[in-house]
Chain A
């Protein structure tokens, strides 16, 4: 995602001219950190809620009670209301959260590993290998991700694992680009050349010398990848090619809620809020991390 310009010193005169911007900027950065903290707290809250929530809510998420269909929020013990089968929405939301968050995280791990390897190899070896690999990355990026994802989803039998894999398969490119850029730049640095000269193997240099210096941007990219993965899972589940009912996922709950929009809008509102909250949390966190780890902003 876009970053704000790091350095906006007013040019032209002596350094005194630049100082007046700092006060507001320090304030700004503090607030940005507050956003990142908010993001982190949100994520923690969601994870905790989804992890233990279904065990402490009054209703089991599978508990069907026809008499309690379509209860609006805050009726009896149904905090968020109930769905067309009388199931407690809150409990279902939290179960769905387990699925969506797990997939998001797992897809991030897979795509980050894959993307890092591709990027490192491309950045390290450069020349033909690098160019070919990065063109390949560019080519994959030409496909709108949902089209590609859906096509792949139609070929597989949808389960948490297969969905994680195809989401990872369409999310590794950003990480690869970031890593390639970093490795390519770091490769020319003295410590890398020194390692080469004492005979270190290529993979040693790549993974033990160069990559550890590129960790910061990778962490930022990975955080943002989680956000995107959660979003992607919700998209394909919404469209019917992701997690299949009766297993709940925030996406397929929304699919279900479509037909009841008139009568029970809360069925659509809460799952969407959950997705937005989770994705926003990771986005804020990633943005804040990027600010915090960006060397240009120091001093």
Chain B
């Protein structure tokens, strides 16, 4: 889905130089590190990366759900738009932040099977998301919960209000999670691998639901995933992360058409392609090597040990800066011009 690039879509979230430093027995780990991006109203930004890239921690840091100092220290600026401009969420008190969570920014997680409290009814769990942010009667909250269940496409919503989580399938539970997340009309929805744990068919339904809801409410979505197929379906813009840093940022079309960072190219190459009848499919290409241990990052560009275009002396000397390329792209690679085009 191509969002219209009209200036009418204003920025709702402006993250600048976000980093989280974890204190470990063997030294500090900074993942993510120096992450900056913006998200506009009605736009879906995909955060792509393998495990350990820092994509989930980034979203938790925005929500201030990471561990507390001194075990995890969050630095940077997370500016959320409100009526009077922008507010830096990292500067809020705990209580102020609590009022933002579930209200102006919501989050849904990867494991719908365990994300709901087993001893409370669905209706109560949705109503809870409302009651702590809006001054409504319990009955009104239940009514709103019913509305939300209908909105997310759950059949027999009245019956489901009184059900317990164990009565619902994984897909249905994820819909409930979406209902909870939408309860107070958030400006931003962070979806952390919401479909990874679901069947492919259910996955498609959930993605369609999210797009529909976004169209309706105009909320921004930050979609975290490692699945490029999903990215192609839902994202307007993509941000690729590696070892805690952004390595490429682009609109989805241009990114798929012409990835500039070898890592991104590698990811695209490793998506299995179904062979057309009669043709022999190409061998599945992978990126050799492993994701680096955050404690022992390779010098210079963290990807260089696995990179086909690695130039000794250059790529391992210093960390490449994130270079702006045109209006809407950024790349962290010293050789992107030389490498030339496309995913082969």
Q: Which residue of A lies closest to B61 (CB)?
A: A13
User: Complex: how many Å from CA A15 to CA B72?
Assistant: 13
B22 within 8 A of A: yes
Q: Which residue of B lies closest to A10 (CB)?
A: B67
B242 within 8 A of A: no
Q: List residues 27-58 of chain B with CB under 8 A from any CB of chain A.
A: 29, 31, 51-54, 56-57
**Is the CB–CB distance between A13 and B57 below 8 Å?**
yes
A26 within 8 A of B: yes
B54: chain A residues at CB < 8 Å are 14, 16
A15: chain B residues at CB < 8 Å are 51-52
A19: chain B residues at CB < 8 Å are 22, 24-25, 29
A183 → chain B, closest Cβ, in Å?
A: 32
User: Complex: how many Å from CA A20 to CA B31?
Assistant: 13
Chain A: number of interface residues, binned into ranges: 10 to 19
B220 → chain A, closest Cβ, in Å?
A: 21
**Is the CB–CB distance between B71 and A14 below 8 Å?**
no
**Is the CB–CB distance between B29 and A13 below 8 Å?**
no
**Is the CB–CB distance between A14 and B24 below 8 Å?**
no
Q: Which of B31, B54, B60, B67 has the most CB of A within 10 A?
A: B67
Count A/B pairs, Cβ under 8 Å.
Answer: 49
**Is the CB–CB distance between B67 and A12 below 8 Å?**
no
B109 within 8 A of A: yes
**Is the CB–CB distance between B56 and A20 below 8 Å?**
no
B314 within 8 A of A: no
User: Complex: how many Å from CA A13 to CA B72?
Assistant: 13
A32 → chain B, closest Cβ, in Å?
A: 17
Chain B: number of interface residues, binned into ranges: 20 to 34
Q: List residues 5-50 of chain A with CB under 8 A from any CB of chain B.
A: 10, 12-17, 19-23, 26
**Is the CB–CB distance between A16 and B23 below 8 Å?**
no
**Is the CB–CB distance between B67 and A20 below 8 Å?**
yes
**Is the CB–CB distance between A13 and B23 below 8 Å?**
no
Q: B-facing mask of A280-295, CB < 8 A → 1, else 0? A: 0000000000000000
B157 within 8 A of A: no
B66 within 8 A of A: yes
A21: chain B residues at CB < 8 Å are 71
A107 → chain B, closest Cβ, in Å?
A: 43
**Is the CB–CB distance between B72 and A20 below 8 Å?**
yes
B200 → chain A, closest Cβ, in Å?
A: 24
A20: chain B residues at CB < 8 Å are 22-24, 67, 71-72
**Is the CB–CB distance between B29 and A12 below 8 Å?**
no
Q: Which residue of A lies closest to B53 (CB)?
A: A14
Q: Which one, B25, B52, B65, B72, contacts A14 given CB within 8 A?
A: B52
**Is the CB–CB distance between B67 and A14 below 8 Å?**
no
B294 within 8 A of A: yes
28 contacts between A and B (CB under 8 A): A10-B67, A12-B56, A12-B65, A12-B109, A13-B56, A13-B60, A13-B66, A14-B31, A14-B51, A14-B52, A14-B54, A14-B56, A15-B51, A15-B52, A16-B22, A16-B54, A16-B57, A16-B294, A17-B22, A17-B67, A19-B24, A19-B29, A20-B23, A20-B67, A20-B71, A21-B71, A22-B25, A23-B25
A interface, CB within 8 angstroms of B: 10, 12-17, 19-23, 26
B interface, CB within 8 angstroms of A: 22-25, 29, 31, 51-54, 56-57, 60, 65-67, 71-72, 109, 192, 294
Shortest 5 CB-CB contacts between residues of A and residues of B: A20-B71, A13-B56, A19-B24, A23-B25, A13-B57
Known interface pairs A19-B22, A26-B25; 14 further A-B residue pairs with C-beta atoms within 8 A, sorted by A's residue number:
A10-B67, A12-B60, A12-B109, A12-B192, A13-B56, A16-B22, A16-B29, A16-B31, A16-B294, A17-B66, A19-B25, A20-B24, A21-B71, A23-B25
